[in-house]
Amino acid sequence: MLLQVDGLRKTFGRRVAVDGVGFALDVGEIVGFLGPNGAGKTTTMRMIAGYLEPDEGAARVFNIDVAQDRRRAQERVGYLPEGAPLYGEMTPWTFLRFVAEARGMTREAARHAVRRAAQDARLGDTIDQPIDTLSKGYRRRVGLAAALLHDPMLLILDEPTDGLDPNQRHAVRDLIRRLGEERGLIISTHSLEEVEAVCTRAIVIDQGRVVADKTPAELRDEHGTLERAFEALTRGEERA
Partner 1 sequence: MKKRPGVSSMLAVYRRELLSYLTTPTAYVFVAVFLFAIGLFTFQVGGLFEARRAELMAFFAFHPWIFMVFLPAVAMRLWAEESRSGALELLMTLPAPTWALVLGKFLAAWTVAGAALVLTFPLWVTINILGAADNAAIFTAYIASFLMAGAYLAIGSAMSALTPAQVVAFVLAVIVAFLLTALGLPMVMDFFSGFVGGGVAEAMGRFSLLHHFDAAQRGVLEFRSIFYFVSLIGLFLGFTALAVDARRGG
> Applying CB under 8 A, which residues contact partner 1?
10-12, 46, 49-53, 70-72, 74-75, 77, 79, 81-83, 85-87, 89-90, 94, 98-99, 101-106, 109, 146
Min CB(69)–partner 1 separation in Å: 10
Min CB(197)–partner 1 separation in Å: 27
Q: Return the number of the residue (93 or 230) whose C-beta is nearest partner 1.
A: 93
Q: Return the number of the residue (98 or 211) whose C-beta is nearest partner 1.
A: 98
> Is-contact 131 18, C-beta < 8 A?
no
> Is-contact 184 26, C-beta < 8 A?
yes
Min CB(68)–partner 1 separation in Å: 13
Helix (H) or strand (E) holding 209: strand 209-214
Sign of CA dihedral 159, 164, 166, 167: negative
Q: Give me the long-range contacts of 135-139 (CB less than 8 A, separation at least 24).
A: 136/163, 136/164, 136/168, 137/164, 137/165, 137/168, 137/171, 139/84, 139/86
Q: Return the number of the residue (59 or 204) whose C-beta is nearest partner 1.
A: 59
Helix (H) or strand (E) holding 114: helix 107-120
Min CB(155)–partner 1 separation in Å: 12
> Is-contact 208 16, C-beta < 8 A?
yes
Min CB(46)–partner 1 separation in Å: 7
Q: Return the number of the residue (86 or 185) whose C-beta is nearest partner 1.
A: 86
Q: Return the number of the residue (39 or 204) whose C-beta is nearest partner 1.
A: 39
Min CB(199)–partner 1 separation in Å: 23
Sheet containing 3-12, strands listed edge to edge, beginning at the edge strand earlier in sequence: 15-25, 3-12, 56-61, 64-65
Q: Return the number of the residue (42 or 161) whose C-beta is nearest partner 1.
A: 42
